[in-house]
């Protein structure tokens, strides 16, 4: 579980952040602070992986807290969630190593995208010791995201992709076939196969070949949990 510290002086926003986190798998609340001094005390006694940090607070600012973390060389990441939309604050946060910057007011979809991308990168970096430039660009530096957001391959639609994915989610991480998804969605097997091929190309689902009772090969699919966050780019 990723332990999250929320540093936010507005109780309503802090509560929203807590509720949003509780809707996402893999996260737990490691603490809530409404000022920097309290946040410092929490990281002294708790193991925190990720900080959701406001800039404007009474006393010390969020950027001062971020600078304090970097001076300590603490192994924790920071996502800014703040009304500070001027470029000076944004550049300062990025220079201090913030992994994302969300401007208030924000929607849950943007919050979810940020957290899912964070999980994906964290898991990826944990497993790798060396990568190629293309993998680094895609997985860490996000150089492919703009193109991925632009459009789906010709013949595929966002609406149908969402229906297919919802049917996949109903399998509760169990293996499935084209027939199972076609029956669930009432979409033709030919069309379903196109969407499954696309998801497989994006490594969001994986496929293995198995043989039925009469020896005919069948593609059996299963979700790749580490890549699910990538789907957000297409929905």
Residue 203 lies in a domain: yes
* Same domain for 187 and 89: no
* Same domain for 117 and 167: no
* Same domain for 98 and 27: yes
Check pLDDT > 60 for residue 145: no
Full-prediction pTM beyond 0.85? no
Q: How many CB atoms lie within 10 A of CB 226?
A: 17
pLDDT one-digit tens code per residue, 3-51: 999 999 999 999 999 998 988 888 999 999 999 999 999 999 999 999 9
**CA-based Rg of the chain, rounded to a whole angstrom?**
21
Residue 146's pLDDT is: 44
pLDDT one-digit tens code per residue, 54-63: 999 999 999 9
Check pLDDT > 60 for residue 229: yes
* Same domain for 95 and 179: no
DSSP code at position 170 = T
Residue 147's pLDDT is: 43
Burial class (CB in 10 A: 0-12, 13-18, 19+), 40: middle
Which CATH number does the domain housing residue 169 bear? Answer: 1.10.10.10
CA gap 135, 131 in Å, rounded: 6
Judge whether 40 and 86 are in contact, CB under 8 Å.
no
Residue 141 lies in a domain: no
CA gap 122, 27 in Å, rounded: 13
Structural domain harbouring 205:
150-233
DSSP code at position 97 = T
* Same domain for 120 and 41: yes
Check pLDDT > 70 for residue 225: yes
Residue 43's pLDDT is: 95
Q: What are the angstrom distances between the C-alpha of 171 and each of 96, 123, 177? A: 42, 23, 10
Across residues 195-208, what is the average pLDDT? 89
């Amino acid at each position: 579980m990723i332990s999250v510290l929320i540093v936010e002086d507005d109780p309503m926003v802090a509560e929203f952040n807590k509720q949003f986190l509780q809707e996402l798998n893999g996260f737990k609340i490691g603490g809530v602070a409404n000022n920097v001094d309290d946040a410092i005390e929490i990281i002294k006694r708790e193991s925190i992986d990720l900080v959701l940090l406001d800039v404007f607070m009474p006393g010390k600012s969020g950027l001062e807290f971020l600078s304090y973390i970097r001076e300590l060389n603490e192994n924790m990441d920071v996502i800014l969630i703040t009304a500070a939309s001027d470029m000076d604050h944004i550049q300062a946060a990025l220079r201090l190593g913030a992994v994302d910057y969300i401007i208030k007011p924000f929607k849950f979809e943007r919050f979810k995208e940020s957290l899912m991308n964070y999980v994906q990168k964290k898991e990826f970096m944990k497993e790798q010791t060396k990568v190629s430039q293309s993998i680094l660009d895609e997985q860490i530096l996000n150089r492919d995201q703009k193109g991925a957001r632009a459009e789906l391959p010709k013949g595929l639609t966002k609406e149908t992709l969402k229906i297919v994915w919802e049917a996949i989610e109903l399998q509760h991480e169990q293996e499935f076939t084209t027939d199972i998804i076609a029956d669930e969605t009432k979409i033709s097997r030919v069309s379903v196969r196109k969407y499954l091929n696309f998801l497989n190309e994006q490594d969001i689902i994986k496929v293995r070949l198995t043989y039925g009772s009469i020896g005919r090969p069948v593609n059996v699919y299963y979700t790749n949990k580490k890549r699910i966050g990538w789907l957000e780019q297409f929905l």
